[in-house]
Amino acid sequence: MEFVIGAVVIYFLYKLVSGKPNPKPTRRATTSKPSKTYTQSSYSNSNRPSTIPTDNNDQDDNFATFTVYTSYGRDAEKSSNTQKGRWVEEGEQLTVNGRQISKGLFYFGGVLNSLSGYGIEPSLVDERRPAVAMSASIGSELYTDESLGYWPSYATLSKGCRGAYLDFLASDRSDSTTPIGYVFIYFYGFERRIIENQANKLVSDQEFLTIFDEVLRLNNVFSANRSFRGYSANFLELLALLRPAVLEHRTQEIPETNNSLSFKVKLATTIANGQPVSADLALDWLKNTFEYSLKTPARRCEDEFRRLFKIRFTEKFGNGISVKPNKTKLTLSYHAASNGIHNVDLNLEDLPDPSVLKAPINKLIPIAEQCTDELNSYSRYLGKADTSKHDIAALMLLPKELANESDSPVIESFKRWAEQVISNEKGLTTVKQFWSHTGMPLPKNLNKKEIDLLTNLAAKADIGIAPDQRFHLTKFKVDGNIVLFSPGHGEFFESSPAFHQVMLALRLGAMVANIDEVVAHDEEITLRRLIEHDDKLSPTEKNSLSAYLTWRLNSPANTVGLGARIELLNTNQVEFLKKFIISIALADGKIESSEIKQIEKLYTSLGLDKSLVTSDIHQLTTTRKANQSPVADAEKSNDVFQLDEDILAMHESDTSDAKSMLENIFAVDDEPESEQIIASSPQQDSLDKSHKALFDALITKTIWPRKEVHELCSKFNLMVDGAIETINNWAYEKVDAPVLDDDGEIYVDLEIVEELKG
């Protein structure tokens, strides 16, 4: 009796197990990073998700483990069609359930097992299976329902979905809004056709080319879907490896893949032949190694990153890096999109697998990090909404080598204009005219970003500007003037102590020369002597200071705060200050009564006793010219008063009273920085409760499937797109960069996260 009961139990267990589809085996990949576990989530009709990495510290071997969750939908009902499934050649015309299908390129019939041995070939079109009548429209109007599961199969589709798929086959198959599940069913047929016949001659070279071109076309049409873009690119790579001679004359490059099959073959062949690893191959190595992950600028600015990497690589390694072949042999495996196909192992020549070596990667990582840093500002700009790499603001943020490659008409136009201003106007122009060459609206205020933009624009054209906040310690204003000079400061300019001392003297001198609102020619000549007679200044420093003086003489002086600092000077420094002021005022050989009144006002604004102006003038003039009468005679004199030689030589001693005095009273700029003003104003310092909770959840890992983000947003009653925009706007306010990147999947920039925490 016990035996009978046991037999019955075993029988029912057998029926239970045999009645369910055998899931596709766990995928093992030799080409992915070992530190990631990949999880595939359930399928949606409009967006087949790609394979998503999540953090995993298990690194027991050199393989990545794929945990695959399947969604088969309904079981396939038995068909009365006993016709053996066959491949429909290109151009063969068939009528299927009322549809005229003339393009071919799919499997047709009633009986055809999948290559994996489990179930029916998913791409097999069976005319005996019921389908709704032909629809009048295609694309976004195609019917979908839950039967279009993650691994869709024609046999398990509903009647409505079968009709929609047949409508797709009867069309030109080019509507980019077609639900991606139908495109995958079509694609499965190509995978089977090639993989099943890879070892025989049933697929001619011409048919091979036809399939390659059709998949390449599909890759272009449906590239917006990240998953299909990846699977189709991997298949194109497989085709190139299977018959390289057939495709060698194809001019269009295969889209970049994450499967890295061709990369590994190319790297192995290069090293086996004793050739150096080039810059392009080195960057591909970085992209495909599990030892390093390229950061946001490398992904967002892919073309610029590759060009800059090549420049920096060549600077360090010349034509390439020499690597010795290792003993590990190369093994490759293709992972099909179709659930009806097992992994495909490729039989290649006996090649080494240098991709597992760490030493070459350690040489490449510093170059990648350098390029990342150099492109960080450019990348952040492009991360903002409504920006383009063609914007002048973007161009100005590029490293010099890349900007020079661009041959921008904006820079050429600006340079021609700047040279005319320098030639005809001694470099003097308005900030408004300067800004017009950016092609952007004039802002109300110039903050650091706007000033950097103009500074970089000038530098790209080898034009210098004054004031240049980096060297002149002050900035221009949106309604003010600016002075251009050529050649500019150059990339490696550093100011000397003499430059700093003369600049401070010029600032005070320009303030004095402007007291009567008219700068006399002799006053300007006197100030320029401070520049010309100083042999410690380099030619670039003299050009810079001359432009700075022109700007100071044509800009209103601001004496706010100077009085408080002058109160801190000692007696000798105050006497020198007064002597300097009067010497500049007397440079034209005379002092009018109105000018004396202006000097008194200047004394007052500087916190000096204005009643001493007359006696100070008398003392200085009588000291230098004993035979010259006091103030009245000085007013009538036509002789030019010679500036005190002590003032001209004030920078010659590091301990001079002049240097100490000028540095003390001009220790800070005219005005507080705009950024400081902005910082003190109210701004959005934090997210609301729901967005903050979503943000805290998202920053727990680097990449999120969109479906999972949608589920998170649902918990907080948020919409995905709106939530991402809100969080990124908050990030802009805090660190001027987006923290989330929506590319089908949601990427989290962990570097920006750290900045936000700071």
> Which of 333-337, 364-368, 455-459, 673-677 has the lowest average pLDDT?
673-677
Residue 52: both structure tokens together = 């998503």
pLDDT at 121 over 90: yes
Within 8 A by CB and 6+ apart from 256, the residues are: 233
Q: Give, rounded to a whole angstrom, the gap between the first and last alpha carbons of the chain.
A: 75
**pTM of the complete model beyond 0.85:** no
Q: What is the rounded CA–CA span in Å between residue 722 and residue 468?
A: 41
pLDDT, position 57: 36
What average pLDDT does the chain have?
A: 79
pLDDT digits (tens, 9 = 90+) for 420-448: 999 999 999 999 999 998 888 888 888 88
| DSSP state for residue 356 in the 8-state scheme | G
Determine the pLDDT at residue 26: 33
How far is the C-alpha of 161 from the C-alpha of 154, rounded, in Å? 9
Evaluate whether 462 touches 412 at the Cβ level (below 8 Å). no
Q: What is the pLDDT of residue 342?
A: 86
Instruction: Kindly state the average pLDDT of the residues 471-485.
Output: 91
Confidence of residue 35 (pLDDT cuts 50, 70, 90): very low
Q: Which residue has the higher pLDDT, 365 or 199?
A: 365
Lowest mean pLDDT segment, chosen from 1-10, 281-290, 691-700: 1-10
Asked if pLDDT for residue 50 goes beyond 70, the answer is no
Q: Taking residues 243-257, report their average pLDDT.
A: 80
Higher pLDDT pick, 107 / 570:
107
pLDDT one-digit tens code per residue, 90-100 = 999 999 999 99
**Would you state the torsion angle of the CA atoms of residues 115, 119, 122, 125, taken in this order, to the nearest 10 degrees?**
110
Q: Choose between 139 and 312: higher pLDDT.
A: 312
Q: What local confidence, expressed as pLDDT, does residue 330 receive?
A: 86
What's the Cα-to-Cα distance from 251 to each of 213, 218, 280, rounded to whole Å? 12, 17, 18
Q: Retrieve residue 613's tokens.
A: 């102006």
Provide the 10 A C-beta neighbour count for residue 600. Answer: 18
Residues in the chain: 758
Dig out the tokens for 589 from the structure.
């050989």
Structure-derived torsion over alpha carbons of residues 26, 32, 35, 38, reported in degrees to the nearest 10:
-40
In angstroms, rounded to a whole number, what is the distance separating the alpha carbons of residues 173 and 221?
9
Domain range 680-757, CATH architecture: Alpha-Beta Complex (3.90)
Task: Write out pLDDT tens, residues 614-649.
Answer: 888 887 777 665 544 444 444 444 333 344 455 555
User: Which position has the higher pLDDT, 485 or 293?
Assistant: 485
pLDDT level of residue 407 (50, 70, 90 thresholds): low
Residue 664 one-letter amino acid: N
Mean pLDDT (whole number) for 515-519: 76
Query: Mean pLDDT across the stretch 336-364?
Result: 87
Give Dmax (Cα) for the chain: 143
Region 525-529: mean pLDDT is: 85
Backbone angles phi, psi at 399, to 5 degrees: -55, 150
If we measure between CA atoms, which residue out of 258, 421, 438, 412 comes closest to residue 334? 258
Q: Which are the contacts of 683, defined by CB distance < 8 A and separation ≥ 6?
A: 733
In this prediction, residue 361 carries a pLDDT of 93
Domain range summary for the chain, segments of one domain joined by +: 1-259, 261-380, 425-485, 497-665, 680-757
Q: Is the pLDDT of residue 41 over 50?
A: no
Mean pLDDT of 212-222: 95
What pLDDT shows up at residue 169?
A: 96
Cβ contact 182:154 at 8 Å: no
Q: How many CB atoms lie within 10 A of CB 435?
A: 20
Q: What are the φ/ψ torsions at residue 156 (nearest 5 degrees)?
A: -100, 0
pLDDT score of 106? 97
What one-letter code names the amino acid at 104?
G
Highest mean pLDDT among 325-334, 397-406, 592-601: 325-334
Instruction: Give the pLDDT mean for 299-306.
Output: 92
Q: How confident is the model at residue 657 (pLDDT cuts 50, 70, 90)?
A: low
652 vs 697: which has the higher pLDDT: 697
- CA-CA distance, 364 to 285, in Å (whole number)? 9
Which residues touch 688 (CB under 8 Å, ≥6 apart)? none
Q: Which comes out higher in pLDDT, residue 72 or 740?
A: 740
pLDDT at 712 over 80: yes
Q: What Å distances lie between residue 237 and 234, 259, 265, 346, CA to CA?
A: 5, 8, 11, 12
Distance CA 684, CA 203 (A): 63
- Supply the pLDDT for residue 667: 58
Whose CA is closest to 482, among 561, 402, 421, 538?
A: 421
pLDDT tops 80 at residue 13:
no
Q: Is a pLDDT exceeding 80 seen at residue 59?
A: no
Asked whether residue 547 carries a pLDDT value surpassing 90, the answer given is yes
Task: Report yes or no: 166 and 101 within 8 Å, Cβ to Cβ.
Answer: yes
Mean pLDDT throughout 130-158? Answer: 81
290 Rama sector, left if φ>0, alpha if ψ -120 to 50, beta otherwise: alpha
Say what the pLDDT of residue 601 is: 75
pLDDT at 658: 62
What is the spatial distance between Cα 532 and Cα 88, in angstroms, rounded to a whole number? Answer: 88
Q: How far apart are CA 303 and CA 43, in angstroms?
A: 32
pLDDT tens-place string over residues 732-751: 778 777 888 776 678 888 87
Q: What is the predicted pLDDT for the residue at 489?
A: 93
331, pLDDT greater than 60? yes
Identify the sign of the CA torsion 629, 635, 640, 642: positive
Q: Are the beta carbons of 300 and 372 closer than 8 angstroms? A: no
Alpha carbon distance 337, 231 (integer Å):
6
Give residues with Cβ within 8 angstroms of 300, minimum separation 6. Answer: 379, 382, 383, 741
Label residue 404 by pLDDT band (50, 70, 90).
low
User: Which pLDDT score is estimated for 164?
Assistant: 94
Would you state the pLDDT for residue 94?
A: 95
- Cα 198 from chain centroid? 42
Q: Which of 194-208, 229-243, 389-403, 524-538 has the lowest mean pLDDT?
A: 389-403
- 685 or 593: which carries more pLDDT confidence? 593
Q: Is 514 helix (H, G, I), strand (E, B) or coil?
A: coil
- Judged against a pLDDT cut of 60, whether residue 655 lies above it is answered with no
Residue 547 in tokens: 């432009």
Q: 3-state class of 40 per DSSP?
A: strand
Buried b (16+ CB within 10 A) or exposed e, 610-638: beebeebbebbbeeeeeeeeeeeebeebe
Within 8 A by CB and 6+ apart from 79, the residues are 110, 126, 128, 129, 155
Q: In the beta sheet, which residues pair with residue 255?
A: none
Residue 58: what pLDDT?
38
